[in-house]
Amino acid sequence: MARYTKKEAREWAREHLVGVANVTIPTMTSDFKRINEKAVRHDVELAIEHGFVGSLSCSEVAVTLEQYGQFCDIMADQAAGRLVVVHQAVFNTLEDNIEAIKRIEAAGVDVVLLGYPPYFYPKSYDEVFEYTQKICAATSLGVIIFPLPAWGFSRLHPADIPVPVLRRMVDEIPNVVAIKAEGGYPNFMSAIEVHREFHKEVVISSPLEHEFVPLAQVMDIPFCGTNYTAYYGPMMPKIFKLIQAGEYDEATQLWYKIDPARKAFAGLPMAPSGLLNRMAWKYQGWLQGYNGGPLPHPTQRIYQRDMTSLRKGQEAAGLNPTSDPDEAFFVGRNPE
């Protein structure tokens, strides 16, 4: 159950969504029949050690709702209030997503990141608002609104979810607590506009580290997540703290330092058809000590050329990736 009421949701978010949040991807046992509990606990504990304040419980992989619920149980239990657990609401239908939210509420997940299913094809933003409102009405948890080109709303407006629609959501839905400002990517006009319009009312997240570090030096951005920054180990939480302390020069130099890793990440086709390559993300984290290990099929793949590029990018950035051979990634650090 939520640790706050719907009326308290925005106040809770202001207090707890401060810092950097990564993504935790489920790991299966070697027979692909169960969630690997040791692996999930390992990843949550390392995220805390690296300084992350939150982590997304990734549902955008080929797991059943029952398996995903078990995954959230383990994450929330291991986090024990030390890490904000963020539910990824992207199941197939409105009904599926409401069922999933009821399940993860019972697990003790803290907040919802709202996505939109691939077969949701709205003809107007009234339909987008209605879908969002129904999800939010089904939970007492705070909900993060997520404008993103992957939903296909760019055909309606370049910002994906424009300010007038967001305004209606913020005004009429009390448990909208944050906006993950990625609309109109790769342009960041929407992120600027969203911050200007809403930062006094809800938490604004700048999830892309290459945007967050420069923008947070000229405007108050309390949250960077959820995102791929497990690839940089503890570096992004460290940079966040420097920015919060006003140590902009040092934060900027670290941002430049990790540029080879950033370029390696950007050089791979991570989401060519709107679906992120979670196996590649899992490998990126494995280089920094996270579990790695099996994802159920069907899944996108990672090839040797990609692993070589990502590893060399970390080496050039001074991030000291594991010396374990790449073959160990496919087994994972806590095999069951």
In a domain, 267, yes or no: yes
**In the prediction, which pLDDT does 229 show?**
98
**In the prediction, which pLDDT does 90 show?**
96
Six token digits for residue 270: 């991570």
What distances in angstroms separate CA 266 from CA 29, 218, 270, 306, 315, one per listed residue?
30, 25, 8, 11, 16
- Virtual CA dihedral for 157, 159, 160, 164, nearest 10 degrees? -80
Closest by alpha carbon to 278, among 58, 16, 36, 22?
Answer: 58
**In the prediction, which pLDDT does 2 show?**
81
Cis peptide before 229 (omega within 30 of 0): no
**In the prediction, which pLDDT does 272 show?**
82
Q: For the chain, how many structural domains are there in total?
A: 1
In a domain, 24, yes or no: yes
0.85 exceeded by pTM: yes
In a domain, 114, yes or no: yes
Range of the domain at 283: 6-330
In a domain, 336, yes or no: no
Whether 77 contacts 47, CB under 8 Å: no
Each residue's pLDDT, cut to its tens digit, for the chain (336 residues) gives: 688 999 999 999 999 999 999 999 999 999 999 999 999 999 999 999 999 999 999 999 999 999 999 999 999 999 999 999 999 999 999 999 999 999 999 999 999 999 999 999 999 999 999 999 999 999 999 999 999 999 999 999 999 999 999 999 999 999 999 999 999 999 999 999 999 999 999 999 999 999 999 999 999 999 999 999 999 999 999 999 999 999 999 999 999 999 999 999 999 998 888 899 999 999 999 999 999 999 999 999 999 999 999 999 999 999 999 999 999 999 999 999
Whether 237 contacts 22, CB under 8 Å: no
User: N- to C-terminal Cα distance for the chain?
Assistant: 30
Q: What is the CATH number of the domain that holds 292?
A: 3.20.20.70
In a domain, 1, yes or no: no
Rg (CA), the chain: 19
Pinpoint the alpha helices (H) of 138-173: 163-172
What distances in angstroms separate CA 143 from CA 78, 109, 251, one per listed residue?
22, 12, 30
